[in-house]
Amino acid sequence: MSDKDDLCFPQHLNMSCKKPRLSGVTVLFLQFLLTLTSILTVVLNLLVIISVTHYRQLHRANNFRLLSLAVADFLIGLVFIPGEMLKLTTCWFFGDLMCLLYSYILVVIICASVGNIVLISVDRYVAICYPLQYRRRITISKVRVCISVCWFYSAFYSMFFVKDGLSQISASCYGECLIFIAYSAIVVDLFLTFLIPISVTTLMYIRVFLVVVFQARAIRSHTAAPQQGPVTAKKSELKAARTIGLIVLVFFMCFCPFYCASLAGDISFNTSITVLCIFCINSCFNPIIYAIFYPWFRKAIKQIVTLNILQPGSSKANIL
């Protein structure tokens, strides 16, 4: 009887997985920690989504990219964290097809997050290095197209990444959600969704850093020294570049353990929970960065919390 109690599906003795061997205290702690992280991630990113979509002053090209990233982070808090909490602390009771769908959505979110980070980096690169051409090159319509392409590419790419999962998932026991992906596919994914994006964004930010240093020296020396860019970027653009640079840095620092664990094939409990927590910190941390560095986000939060957003004409309020 005790052996059956350890099984996720006692009626399937030969095919059922065993329940996670965790103490009650460990389960309660993990459920509390991940539930709190999920709620914070959903609420904070929902504030970003409401702010950018509601206030007309925030309908700018760079803010739409932040909006797209906030949507990806929101989905991580809404889908990914609860799903991983379920897998770590109890059995998977939703069947193979839901497991495959969950894994597919997970890959879409991760891929879209990386794509949005690259788009945000490109925006700051053009704004700092080519300020005169920024308004012509970066328009709201072009940004919307780029964001749509990013999400459609993520959905299309994810189909190929998990396409073998439907035939291989049945090899797993009942009560477990594991998609078996070939090691070669993981290596290709490492290059496409991590190494290449981080290389591109790093090179762009090196260029941005050099331009910022040159402009700072020109300001200090009170000279109009010629530069490769036609004009000096605005102070607000420089501040935005530093803020986005911090977001990009935190993003890739949180992604490194995820891919390291995937390549090493380490799916132990301690590794899984560590990688999960580090990965989720990024999605919860981004809105905090906005609140620290963007006054408009703090004003928007105040308007939302005090319900002034429900007032007629609130979308036209001065939020900048």
Task: Please give the Cα distance from 241 to 217 (Å, whole number).
Answer: 17
* Type of residue numbered 219: I
Residue 9: pLDDT above 80?
Answer: no
The set of residues, in sequence order, having a beta carbon less than 8 Å from that of 245 and lying 6+ positions away, is 124, 205, 208
The average pLDDT across 264-287 equals: 70
Of residues 96, 161, 157, 110, the one with CA closest to residue 282: 110
Torsions phi, psi of 91, nearest 5?
-90, 160
| Model confidence pLDDT, tens digit, residues 224-243 | 444 444 444 555 556 666 66
| Model confidence pLDDT, tens digit, residues 22-67 | 777 877 888 888 888 889 999 999 999 999 998 888 888 888 988 9
DSSP string, 32-51: HHHHHHHHHHHHHHHHHHHH
| Model confidence pLDDT, tens digit, residues 296-314 | 888 888 888 888 888 888 8
- Please provide the average confidence, as pLDDT, over all residues in the chain: 78
> What tokens were used for 104?
């597919």
DSSP character at residue 91: -
112 or 225, higher pLDDT:
112
Domain annotation for the chain: domains and CATH numbers: 22-316 (1.20.1070.10)
The set of residues, in sequence order, having a beta carbon less than 8 Å from that of 29 and lying 6+ positions away, is none
| Model confidence pLDDT, tens digit, residues 135-170 | 888 888 889 999 999 999 999 988 877 766 555 554
Q: What percentage of the chain reaches a pLDDT higher than 70?
A: 78
